């Protein structure tokens, strides 16, 4: 049943290897206990949860999440199969609180990137373009580093993300300013080999694809240069540029008096999420965002009273 379930999930084109590994732990647990039942019971699920109690809460949640998915699949054919309740997420005090950059801090980071050594090399422009792209599109750092030259379509003002999370591909529509910045970078990038269509878009000094350690090390140096405090516990991580994109996008919609509820699915799709729930994690309430929400609610409240004739 586990094998059938995994084959079904992979038919969507998603990379289910991580979840399959978690299910193998559950399979090994059942095999080691020699249960006589032909279906999953509540006792099995509770015993398995007890056996992984030593793991971190989020890790326990991940393991039980895939077990729950499996049980829901089996229950379609066998209603005797027990479906465990989802585990409660750790409290907000236990979760990392993303750092939301200000517009001024973003500008400072981009300016600092242009001063990176060695002078006259592609490196300063590479990091300025990379960080700017992360901020203005909200793509993941792994997606940005996986971009090839033929993934940028300047005439259509689009980027093609071929290697997104869970191997999901998608199109990223670019604003004119972002497209222009990428075009400037590409003009300099094409002067350096390799420059075949399938060559990496962002390269290091050895003309190879950027890697996480070097990017992260450079990023930390830029934070220090800009006077932005950083620690392992409190960040800001490079992934927080993605959080900042989501919050600033939401803020812009509120200021434009757009229908935010109608646009949230658009934001979710643009960011490569499977559903809005995943996007909500990124929508951290900042002081500016709270002010805009309060302003909109106040205006709606006043208009409602005027419509009822309660105000003159």
Catalytic (active site) residue 140: yes
> Do 185 and 118 have their domain in common?
yes
Judge whether 172 and 139 are in contact, CB under 8 Å: yes
pLDDT higher than 50, residue 45: yes
pTM of the complete model beyond 0.85: no
Higher pLDDT, 108 or 165: 108
Q: Among 165, 170, 237, 296, which one carries the catalytic annotation? A: 165
Catalytic (active site) residue 239: yes
> Do 220 and 139 have their domain in common?
yes
pLDDT higher than 80, residue 312: no
Q: Among 9, 63, 140, 189, which one carries the catalytic annotation? A: 140
* Rounded average pLDDT over 186-200: 96
- CATH assignment at residue 146: 1.10.443.10
Higher pLDDT, 114 or 163: 114
Domain boundary among 209, 239, 269: 239
Catalytic (active site) residue 282: yes
User: Rounded to whole angstroms, what are the CA distances from 68 to 8, 65, 76, 292, 307?
Assistant: 15, 5, 13, 39, 49
| 152-153 and 170-173 strand pairing | unpaired
* Rounded average pLDDT over 230-254: 90
Catalytic (active site) residue 242: yes
Q: Which domain holds residue 56?
A: 2-75
* Block residue for tokens 């059938």: 4
Helix, strand or coil, per DSSP, at residue 275: coil
- The number of domains in the chain is 3
Q: Among 163, 237, 239, 296, which one carries the catalytic annotation? A: 239
Judge whether 170 and 164 are in contact, CB under 8 Å: yes
- Per-residue pLDDT band at 36 (split at 50, 70, 90): confident
pLDDT higher than 70, residue 114: yes
Q: Tell me the per-residue pLDDT of 257-281, one tens digit each, with 9 for 90 and over.
A: 999 999 999 999 999 988 888 898 8
Domain boundary among 75, 93, 111: 75
- Per-residue pLDDT band at 293 (split at 50, 70, 90): confident
Q: Among 9, 242, 248, 249, which one carries the catalytic annotation? A: 242
pLDDT higher than 50, residue 92: no
> Do 216 and 285 have their domain in common?
no
């Amino acid at each position: 049943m586990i094998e059938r379930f995994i084959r079904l999930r992979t038919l969507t084109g998603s990379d289910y290897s991580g979840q399959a590994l978690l299910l193998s732990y559950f399979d090994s647990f059942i095999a080691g206990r020699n249960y006589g039942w032909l279906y999953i019971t509540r006792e099995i699920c509770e015993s398995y949860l007890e056996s992984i109690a030593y793991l971190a809460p989020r890790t326990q949640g991940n393991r039980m999440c895939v077990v729950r998915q499996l049980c829901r699949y089996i229950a379609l054919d066998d209603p005797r199969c027990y479906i465990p309740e989802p585990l409660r997420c750790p409290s907000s005090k236990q979760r990392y609180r993303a750092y939301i950059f200000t517009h001024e801090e973003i500008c400072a980071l981009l300016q600092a990137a242009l001063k990176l050594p060695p002078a006259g090399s592609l490196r300063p422009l590479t990091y300025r373009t990379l960080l700017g792209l992360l901020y203005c599109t909200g793509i993941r750092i792994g997606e940005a580093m996986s971009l090839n030259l033929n993934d940028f379509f300047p005439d259509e003002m689009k980027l093609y993300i071929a290697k997104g999370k869970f191997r999901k591909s998608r199109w990223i529509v670019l604003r004119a300013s972002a497209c222009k910045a990428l075009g400037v970078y590409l003009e300099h990038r094409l002067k350096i080999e390799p420059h075949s269509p399938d060559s990496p878009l962002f390269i290091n000094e050895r003309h190879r694809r950027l890697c996480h350690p070097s990017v992260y090390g450079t990023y930390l140096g830029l934070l220090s240069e800009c006077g932005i405090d950083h620690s392992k516990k409190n960040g800001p991580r490079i992934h927080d540029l993605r959080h900042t994109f989501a919050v600033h996008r939401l803020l812009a919609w509120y200021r434009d008096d757009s229908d935010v509820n109608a646009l949230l699915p658009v934001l979710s799709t643009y960011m490569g999420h499977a559903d809005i729930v995943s996007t909500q994690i990124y929508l951290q309430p900042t002081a500016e965002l709270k002010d805009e929400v309060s302003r909109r609610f106040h205006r709606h409240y006043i208009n409602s009273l005027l419509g009822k004739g309660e105000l003159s």
